[in-house]
Chains A and B, each alone.
Chain A
Amino acid sequence: MTAARATWSTLTDPLVRQNPVTLQILGICSALAVTTTLATAVTMSVALTIVLTLSAGLVSAIRRHIPGTIRLIVQIVIVASLVIVIDQVLQAYFAEISRALSVYVGLITTNCLVLGRTEAFARHNPPFPAMIDAFGNGLGYSLVLVTIGGLRELFGKGELFGRTILPLADAGGWFTPLSLMLLAPSAFFLLGLLVWAVRTILPEQSEAREHTPPPSTEPAE
Chain B
Amino acid sequence: MAARDWNPLRRVLALPNESRTKTVMVAFLVSALCAALVSGATVVLRPIQTANRAAEEQARIAALVDDIPGMADLLQESGGTLSTVVVNLENGRAAQDVTPANLEATLADPGNWTTLGAGQDIAGLGRRPDYAQIYLLRDGDSVSLVLLPLSGQGYGGRIDAILALREDMNTIAGVAITGHSETPGLGGRIEERAWQAAFPGTELRDDSGETRFRVAQGPASGMHEVDGITGATRTGRAVTQMVRFWLGPEGYGPLLDAIARGEF
Report which A residues bind B (CB closer than 8 A). 62, 64-70, 73-74, 77-78, 80-82, 84-85, 88-89, 91-93, 95, 102-103
Is B56 located at the chain interface by the 8 A CB criterion? yes
**Chain B residues with CB below 8 A from A80, complex form:** 34
Contact with A along B9-40 (1 / 0, CB 8 A): 00001000110001100110011001101100
Q: Are B41 and A66 in contact (CB under 8 A)?
A: no
**Chain A residues with CB below 8 A from B53, complex form:** 95
Q: Kindly report which residue of chain A lies nearest to residue B179, judged by CB atoms.
A: A99
Q: Are A74 and B26 in contact (CB under 8 A)?
A: yes
Q: Are B184 and A68 in contact (CB under 8 A)?
A: no
Q: Are A70 and B27 in contact (CB under 8 A)?
A: yes
With beta carbons under 8 angstroms apart, the residue of B34, B52, B188 that contacts A78 is: B34
What total of chain B residues lie within 8 Å of the partner, measured CB to CB? 23
Q: Are A84 and B38 in contact (CB under 8 A)?
A: yes
Is B84 located at the chain interface by the 8 A CB criterion? no
A92 to B243, CA, bound (A): 30
With beta carbons under 8 angstroms apart, the residue of A62, A73, A89, A95 that contacts B41 is: A89
With A80-B34, A91-B49, A102-B188 already in contact, 18 other A-B pairs whose C-beta atoms are closer than 8 Å: A62-B30, A65-B17, A65-B22, A65-B26, A66-B17, A66-B26, A68-B17, A74-B26, A74-B30, A78-B34, A81-B37, A88-B41, A88-B42, A92-B45, A92-B52, A93-B48, A95-B53, A103-B184
Report which B residues bind A (CB closer than 8 A). 13, 17-18, 22-23, 26-27, 30-31, 34-35, 37-38, 41-42, 45, 48-49, 52-53, 56, 184, 188
Q: Are A70 and B45 in contact (CB under 8 A)?
A: no
> What DSSP secondary structure best describes chain A's contact surface?
helix
| A-B CB contacts (within 8 Å), total count | 63
With beta carbons under 8 angstroms apart, the residue of A64, A66, A95 that contacts B52 is: A95
A85 to B56, CA, bound (A): 22
**Chain B residues with CB below 8 A from A69, complex form:** 18, 23
Top 4 closest A-B pairs, CB basis?
A81-B34, A92-B48, A92-B45, A67-B23
A70 to B31, CA, bound (A): 12
Q: Are B37 and A85 in contact (CB under 8 A)?
A: yes
A69 to B17, CA, bound (A): 9
A92 to B45, CA, bound (A): 6
Q: List 14 A-B contacts (CB under 8 A).
A: A64-B17, A65-B13, A70-B27, A73-B27, A74-B27, A74-B30, A78-B30, A81-B35, A82-B37, A84-B38, A85-B38, A88-B45, A91-B52, A103-B184
